[in-house]
Amino acid sequence: MTDREIHLPVAAQSSIDGIAEITQHAESEGYVRAWMPETWGRDGVTTLTTLAERTDRIELGTSIANVFSRSPALLGQTAATLQEVSNGRFRLGIGPSGPAVIEGWHGESFDRPLRRTREYVEIIERVVAGEGLEYDGDIYSLSGFRLRFDPPETPPPIDVAGMGPKSVELAGRFADGWHATTFTPDGLRERLGDLRRGAELGDRSPDDIRVSLSLPCCVLEDGDRARELAAQHLAFYVGAMGTYYRKSLARQGYETEANEIAARWASGDQAAAIALIEDELLDELAVAGTPERAREQLQTFTEIKGLDAVALAFPRGASPADIDATVTAMATDN
């Protein structure tokens, strides 16, 4: 059975208490894990520490912590500490993010993202295991230190986010899991082939690599409003968040639509960009509408062989009430 997870809102919430309430609600509804994104809102570490203190069972993770704004050793320390404060419920999701955030927000050069991600995985694995940090990579050369407290009895797994063939292959070769986002069912199946190839290169079994899909989701009795919110969300990512989402959508057979959405958004005509997310494309990329319709849509994704979890991602424009309704409607028992 495919696990049901949530991807906490990327949009600013009124308070950290609101984020905690969403997570507590998901826990009460039986969701397996809550993923915390980190963009230019609240930082993931402080938020996840708060969530660990205010929940009991639901697992927690970053999706994603980028590999530019913190050193790999610091991310290793952070992962070990979050594993401690959550009593073994933490999973570290990392990835390059994209130039828009890394250069525009952090002021770092978006240089060699794949090589950097690989070295982060290798270094973090050594840190959380309590090993002496002797590492000579292309980007990082480290020596002389090890974690200054007892490492976690169970090291937190390390997942990698990726959208393109090479980044997904990297996850299959080196990571404990892959975070997928903005995929059609057929697009996801194609990338799962890259994951399997990476696993073969790493002499690993694909069954040992956990795959979680972040799936835009809005489920309301007012199905038209739910679909509008989901379309707005997708248009923003394709149009405003650099080239990664646009290129990923193009690779999945929607090159014309992806380019037109980006062009309309760049020209300031956001309404036209949103209108280009027509019903067929929306149903390929999201779960949105009335509860009955959404549950049927979700099954299209949960039946994909090799997908271990679906993380419901709430649209940027969703209100707390919209999020609450979606969590309830899409709980496993409903």
- Residue 231 lies inside a defined structural domain of this protein: no
CA–CA distance, 3 with 330 (Å, rounded to integer): 12
Q: What is the DSSP letter of 251?
A: I
- pLDDT of res. 214: 97
Structure tokens at 295: 């549950």
pLDDT in tens, 5-15: 999 998 778 89
3-state secondary structure 101-157: HHHHCCCCCCCCHHHHHHHHHHHHHHHHCCCCCCEECCCCEECCCCCCCCCCCCCCC
- Residue 300 lies inside a defined structural domain of this protein: yes
Q: Which residues contact 309 (CB under 8 A, 6 or more apart)?
A: 2, 3, 4, 5, 32, 33, 210, 211, 212, 213
Q: Is 219 helix (H, G, I), strand (E, B) or coil?
A: strand
pLDDT in tens, 245-281: 999 999 999 999 999 999 999 999 999 999 999 999 9
CA–CA distance, 196 with 83 (Å, rounded to integer): 28
**pLDDT exceeds cutoff 90 at 244:** no
Give the count of domains, the chain: 1
- Residue 43 lies inside a defined structural domain of this protein: yes
pLDDT in tens, 105-157: 999 999 999 999 999 999 999 999 999 999 999 999 999 999 999 999 999 99
- pLDDT of res. 327: 98
Other Cβ atoms less than 10 A from the Cβ of 193: the count is 15
CA–CA distance, 231 with 211 (Å, rounded to integer): 25
pLDDT in tens, 29-85: 999 999 999 999 999 999 999 999 999 999 999 999 999 999 999 999 999 999 999
CA–CA distance, 100 with 104 (Å, rounded to integer): 5
Q: Which residues contact 319 (CB under 8 A, 6 or more apart)?
A: none
- Residue 249 lies inside a defined structural domain of this protein: no
* CATH number of the CATH domain containing 93: 3.20.20.30
- Residue 8 lies inside a defined structural domain of this protein: yes
Cβ distance 175 to 160 under 8 Å? yes
Global pTM exceeds 0.85? yes
- pLDDT of res. 1: 84
Range of the domain at 307: 3-221+286-329
- Residue 68 lies inside a defined structural domain of this protein: yes
Cβ distance 123 to 142 under 8 Å? yes
- Rounded mean pLDDT of the chain? 96
- Residue 179 lies inside a defined structural domain of this protein: yes
- Residue 279 lies inside a defined structural domain of this protein: no
- pLDDT of res. 216: 97
Q: With b meaning 16 or more CB within 10 Å and e meaning fewer, what string describes 257-271? A: bbebbbebbeeeeee
**pLDDT exceeds cutoff 90 at 334:** no
- pLDDT of res. 46: 97
**pLDDT exceeds cutoff 90 at 243:** no
CA–CA distance, 284 with 186 (Å, rounded to integer): 9
- pLDDT of res. 10: 81
pLDDT in tens, 307-318: 999 999 999 999
Structure tokens at 156: 């937190």
